[in-house]
Structures are given as structure tokens and as C-alpha cells.
């Protein structure tokens, strides 16, 4: 079954299931970096924004053998989770005096989002763009948000610079920074994986878990403190790369790294920073390219560039590539 036919069949099946109790719509959305995705909306709360359930992953499951009836059962489960939410007061968004309490920003790739940037307020930052969104309350739907458009800004009778000032003030309050060593991040990952192992409860408990996760991290991490990597994001790990705009976060990274440091854009959600050591720019660019091309979803790529924070000038600049570098650049 072709993807378009699959989407149409899904819509009909859900419409038959919900009947008059809900309207079911297919929604074609242009996501970050111009990636097009198809979602299903089940609207049972007319006053609330309706979260979208995207169908691409379920289609892949269907192609790999999942039955169509199982697909529909999963969608009913997902749409039930997303619609059984606390009522959202739409005035909290339309009234600027209320809305400005939850306006924050994120970073996206400028060249890959040229069309999107025509319709939304933005500010340039190196080869990226600062854009704004309204963060819905946690009780409504996790990391759900509303991207702020130029029409919203017009309705609010405000301007881009005012949005930036408001968002900067809100950022640390609503999405506080998180700066952790790669060692500790990996250690937590290993711990979580080990806890899921069959028979874990019969082992020596947390002490055993601590020792084993330490050993596993040691196998993959260098013991050279000057090469220690740090993961920089926010408390939700959602569009956390925008922490690079926070002066206090940069100063904290400077203290941790002992001076100037490199910044690698791991994704729109996080950055990797490490001390300024002698390393060819071409190698750094190759590292970023390899991660983007093999580990990051297309809509989550932030940049193919490498950045450097200068501790003396207190500024972030884009690192120049070596002439002979084979790295791709956007």
C-alpha cells in the first residue's frame, strides 16, 4: 500500500470509529528544515489546540509487518492520550499580557528554513536563526508549543526585538540550562539500560549498577581531562541548543573548560562543548558532518558548522574551515 493510500485509509478508519463524537483530519505539516510530515488530528476539544499524531513511523511499522488493525488500535491509544488533557485557556495565548509569560526562543538552521522564516519573526545568529514559540503548560501536553508567526506578532502589536527581550528573560526560568559531562550522561544511559535487563533485581543492587556503569563508561571515554566533552541543553532536552544564547551558560562552560572552548551542534536539542585544544578545523567539521548524516533526524539538524567561544572577547564565532576540508556545509 502506498503511503498516501495508507493515510487516507487511516483517516476513514478513525472517522468510522469516532463517528459524530470527533472530527478527524489529515494535516500536512512542514516541519523544521523543510521536512514534510503527515499527521492525523482528532478534534474533541474545540476550544483547545489539537495535538498532531504523525503517521510516518506507523507506516514504517505497517510495511515491516504490523497489521492495519494494530495501527488503528495504536492511533486510538495515542489520540486518547493526547486529547485527555486539562483545558487550555486560549486567552492565555491571544492576550499578549498573558502570553508573554510563556514566550521562549529556539535556534534553527537559517538556510534550510528560508521559506519558513518569511512568515515568522526571527533574528540572525551566525549561520542560524533565533525564532520564538509559546510553551504550553506541562499539564496540557508535555513539550507542546505554538510557533509564533508574524500574524501573531501583529495581533499582539509588538515587534521582534521585544519578543527577544521577553524570551531571553523567560528562558532560564521556564527552560533552565543543563550542562553535564558526557561521562555522566552516558553513565545514566547505561544505568537505565541495565535496569531493564532481565534478572537485574537479582544482582547486587545500586552499588553493582554504579560500578558496572562506571566500567562501561571507562571503555568509551578518554581519561584525558583536557578532552572531556560536555553536553549542553535545557531541562527538557527540547530545542536546548538555544542555551548558546545565554551569557551565563557560556560563562559556566568557560569555567568548566578552563578558558576558550569549541561548540559542536549535536542537534537542535543539544550542543557538545570541550576545551580549546590544538585540533584541525577539518576534523571538527568531519565530526559534525558524520553525526548529522548518521545519527540525527533530518528535521533535528541544526548546523554543519563548528563554533568557538573566545574567553577573552566573550563571544561565539563560526570556526573557519580549512581550504582542503572535504566537509559538507549548509
Domain co-membership, 77 together with 140? no
Residue in the block written with cell 496540557: 140
Q: Please report whether residue 213 resides in a domain.
A: no
Residues 248-277: pLDDT tens digits? Answer: 999 999 999 999 999 999 999 999 999 987
Residues 24-60: pLDDT tens digits? Answer: 899 888 889 999 899 888 887 555 556 788 899 999 9
Domain that holds residue 114: 91-174
Q: Please report whether residue 199 resides in a domain.
A: no
Q: Please report whether residue 51 resides in a domain.
A: yes
Q: What is the DSSP string of 126-195?
A: TTEEEEEEEE--HHHHTT-EEEPPHHHHHHHT--HHHHHHHHHHHHHHHS-EEEEEHHHHHHHHHHHHHH
Write down the pTM of the prediction: 0.79
Q: Where are the alpha helices (DSSP H) in 19-137?
A: 56-63, 68-83, 91-94, 96-99, 114-117
Domain co-membership, 10 together with 53? yes
Residues 138-156: pLDDT tens digits? Answer: 644 556 788 999 999 999 9
Comparing 217-226, 239-248, 284-293, the range with the smallest average pLDDT is 217-226
Q: Please report whether residue 201 resides in a domain.
A: no
**Of the residues 138, 154, 174, which one is the last residue of a structural domain?**
174
Domain co-membership, 117 together with 52? no
**Of the residues 174, 195, 211, which one is the last residue of a structural domain?**
174
What values do phi and psi take at 273, rounded to 5? -125, 150
Domain co-membership, 79 together with 95? no
Q: Please report whether residue 242 resides in a domain.
A: yes
Domain co-membership, 165 together with 235? no
**Of the residues 37, 67, 83, which one is the last residue of a structural domain?**
83
Domains of the chain: total: 3
Amino acid at each position: 500500500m502506498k503511503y498516501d493510500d495508507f493515510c487516507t485509509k487511516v483517516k476513514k478508519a478513525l472517522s468510522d470509529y469516532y463517528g459524530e463524537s470527533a472530527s478527524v483530519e489529515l494535516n500536512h505539516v512542514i516541519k523544521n528544515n523543510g521536512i514534510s510530515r503527515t499527521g492525523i488530528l482528532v478534534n474533541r476539544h474545540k476550544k483547545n489546540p489539537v495535538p498532531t499524531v504523525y503517521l510516518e513511523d506507523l507506516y514504517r511499522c505497517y510495511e515491516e509487518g504490523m497489521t492495519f488493525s494494530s495501527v488503528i488500535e495504536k492511533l486510538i491509544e495515542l489520540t486518547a492520550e493526547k486529547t485527555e488533557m486539562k483545558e487550555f485557556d486560549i486567552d492565555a495565548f491571544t492576550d499578549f499580557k498573558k502570553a508573554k509569560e510563556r514566550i521562549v526562543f529556539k535556534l534553527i538552521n537559517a538556510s534550510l528554513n528560508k521559506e519558513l522564516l518569511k512568515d515568522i519573526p526571527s533574528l540572525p545568529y551566525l549561520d542560524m536563526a533565533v525564532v520564538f514559540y509559546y510553551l504550553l503548560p506541562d499539564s496540557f501536553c508535555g513539550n507542546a508549543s505554538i510557533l509564533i508567526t508574524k500574524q501573531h506578532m501583529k495581533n499582539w502589536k509588538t515587534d521582534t526585538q521585544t519578543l527577544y527581550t521577553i524570551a531571553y528573560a523567560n528562558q532560564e526560568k521556564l527552560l533552565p540550562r543543563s550542562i553535564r559531562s558526557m561521562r555522566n550522561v552516558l553513565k545514566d544511559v547505561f544505568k537505565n539500560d541495565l535496569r531493564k535487563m532481565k534478572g537485574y533485581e537479582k544482582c547486587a543492587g545500586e552499588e553493582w549498577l554504579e560500578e558496572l556503569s562506571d566500567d562501561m563508561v571507562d571503555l568509551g571515554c578518554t581519561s584525558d581531562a583536557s578532552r572531556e566533552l560536555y553536553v549542553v541543553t535545557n531541562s527538557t532536552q527540547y530545542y536546548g541548543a538555544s542555551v548558546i544564547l545565554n551569557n551565563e551558560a557560556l560563562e559556566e562552560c568557560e569555567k568548566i573548560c578552563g578558558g576558550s572552548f569549541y561548540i559542536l551542534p549535536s542537534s537542535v536539542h543539544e550542543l557538545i562543548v570541550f576545551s580549546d585544544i590544538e585540533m584541525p578545523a577539518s576534523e571538527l567539521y568531519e565530526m559534525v558532518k558524520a553525526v548529522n548524516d548518521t545519527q540525527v533526524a533530518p528535521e533535528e539538524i541544526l548546523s554543519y558548522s563548528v563554533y568557538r567561544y573566545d574567553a577573552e572577547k566573550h563571544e561565539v564565532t563560526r570556526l573557519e574551515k580549512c581550504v582542503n576540508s572535504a566537509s559538507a556545509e549548509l
